[in-house]
Structure 1
Amino acid sequence: MTKRNIQVSLRKGNINDAKKVLELQKEVLLESEFMISVIEEYEETSEQIRNWIEKILENEREKLIVAESKGQIVGLIVFRSKSNKRISHTGSFTAMVKKEYRNQGIGKLLIKELLKWAEHNPLIEKVSLGVLSTNQRAIELYKSMGFVEEGRKIKEVKFSDDLYVDDILMYKQV
């Protein structure tokens, strides 16, 4: 249940979600000023998303969780980890929620579920993320959940000739 009493359920993503995941990603790219990619450069197909999900499902150090409401995927969180031996204990996540479902606690539910999974996964010790310095709501959410800033990529994202934004790197040990 969310802040506006919207029924939301969380579950592990699966390959049958590919089309809905693709739709969500495109919608969020169109409506959010906090994404690094823009819709014009996003060329994924349902088949590519299906293959991407399949690879996540095959890797015990990776996870895809979706949030559903009334049969539609309204949010997701994906945790990816590199296979390099010396950094395989770490990984980072990306989360997205449809605009009309934001500020309802869905992002927090997704992060809690991911952290619970990570805490019970003996292969994962550190959960990381990158967030644009202009996304204050997300930064406050991450801090409230125990994430701390570990660095910044200054002027990492360029929106226009005179508008640059820092990429803040945050982490939490699990």
Structure 2
Amino acid sequence: MITVTEEFNKSIDQQRKWIQKILENERETIIVAETNSIVVGWLIFQSQNRKRLLHTGSLGIMIHKDFRDLGIGKMLINELLNWAELNPLIEKVCLGVLATNHRAIALYKSMGFIEEGRKVKAIKLNTNEYVDDILMYKMV
């Protein structure tokens, strides 16, 4: 993940407002995976507000470490792609993935995502350790 633990610092009220703003935008959505009323994963799709980019958006996904390799990520992405296909405003779903996240890359490719570029050493993990950010997309 790009985000580090200390960056998760929004209050519950701030989180509610952020989620509400996304849900009110017809080009954005949040999809949640639950098990026994406990959130185990989520996917967020956000778009740009620039006129020439309105047809695109980027997804971010997080699955709790104890619930990985159970197909939850694939389920969330399928739900997003179904939503995007029904949304006449969305034509292109984009994402960025760390080059070291081979499981995620394999999943995205299996679902029809195509690599369209790479940001070399875009992510700095520590003093002398960098990772490329692979950019992928799927037309819907």
- In the TM superposition, structure 1's runs of 4+ consecutive aligned residues that sit over 2 Å from their partners are none
Task: Return the offset for 1:41.
Answer: 2.8
1:48 aligns with 2:18: no
Give 1:114's aligned residue.
80
Point out where structure 1 has 5 or more consecutive residues left out of the alignment: 1-34
**CA distance in 2: counterparts of 1:42 and 1:101, whole angstroms:** 20
| Root-mean-square deviation over aligned CA pairs | 0.7
Specify which of 98, 105, 127 is matched with residue 161 of structure 1. 127
* Amino acid in the other structure paired with 1:79: F
Point out where structure 2 has 5 or more consecutive residues left out of the alignment: none
Larger strand proportion of the pair: 2
Task: Return the offset for 1:70.
Answer: 0.4
Give 1:136's aligned residue.
102
* Amino acid in the other structure paired with 1:158: K
- Secondary structure of 1:159's match? strand
TM-score of the superposed pair, with normalisation by structure 1: 0.79
1:104 aligns with 2:70: yes
1:65 aligns with 2:20: no
Specify which of 85, 104, 117 is matched with residue 151 of structure 1. 117
Task: Return the offset for 1:57.
Answer: 1.1
Task: Return the offset for 1:37.
Answer: 1.5
**CA distance in 1: counterparts of 2:111 and 2:47, whole angstroms:** 21
1:85 aligns with 2:29: no
Give 2:137's aligned residue.
171
Give 1:127's aligned residue.
93
TM-score of the superposed pair, with normalisation by structure 2: 0.98
* Amino acid in the other structure paired with 1:122: P
- Secondary structure of 1:111's match? helix
